[in-house]
Amino acid sequence: MRDKGQLNRVRIVESAMRLFHERGIGNTSFNDIAQASGIPKGNIYYYFKTKEDLLQAVVETRVQMAQMRYDEIDTQLDKPLQRLHRFIELPLVMPKEHYRFGCAMGSLALDLSKEPDTGVNSSEVELFDVTLNWLERQFVSLGKPTPRDLAYHLFTCVQGSLVLNAVYRDQSMLEMAIRRMRAWIDAI
């Protein structure tokens, strides 16, 4: 069981994740996070001395969430082809804010890449590597040549479809992109 301090830290990180996704890093202040989490700003500084410290916790949490999702897929499905199909269908079961703001992990990685002064060096790479490495393992298991290239291609298709879906706010575009990705996976 978590103590009050651990619960407060989780509330802060979860609030920051949501606000960074909705507003971006640069448009989110500690005041915003304090208001969203219900924890006084002074108390937030007890857990996170700087915004960079909080950013690092957000990145670590997002990476852990992604890894847990992929571990769950690995446990539920035996065949790599099934796993790849499940991966491309993930956007359909993501929270509705993804339809408005795009992929939370992709948005965060893009924001981090724009802010070289964050002190959270290479975190945007870490965010994407957890997915790219998992995808690459699936293509290796399928015995495909150039598995990293295939992982990049599929990840680019998913991220691009989420961006288009957020811009056009039209789920039918996302569904069409998923059908095409499914056909591509089956054809390679």
Q: Where in the chain is the domain with CATH 1.10.10.60?
A: 1-49
Identify which of 42, 34, 33, 47 has the alpha carbon closest to the alpha carbon of residue 4. 47
* Confidence (pLDDT) at 119: 56
Give the integer Cα–Cα distance in Å for 82 and 186: 10
DSSP 71-105: HHHHHH--SHHHHHHHHHHHHHHS-THHHHH--HH
- In this predicted structure, the answer to whether residue 120 has a pLDDT above a threshold of 60 is no
> How far, CA to CA in Å, does 116 sit from each of 34, 91, 133, 150?
25, 29, 24, 29
Q: Which two tokens stand for residue 166?
A: 């957020």
Give the integer Cα–Cα distance in Å for 34 and 40: 5
Q: Which fold has domain 1-49?
A: Arc Repressor Mutant, subunit A (1.10.10)
For 26-77, strand residue ranges (E) read none
Model confidence, pTM:
0.89
Q: Where in the chain is the domain with CATH 1.10.357.10?
A: 59-187
- Could you tell me which CATH number the domain at 59-187 has? 1.10.357.10
* Confidence (pLDDT) at 89: 94
pLDDT (mean) for 76-96: 92
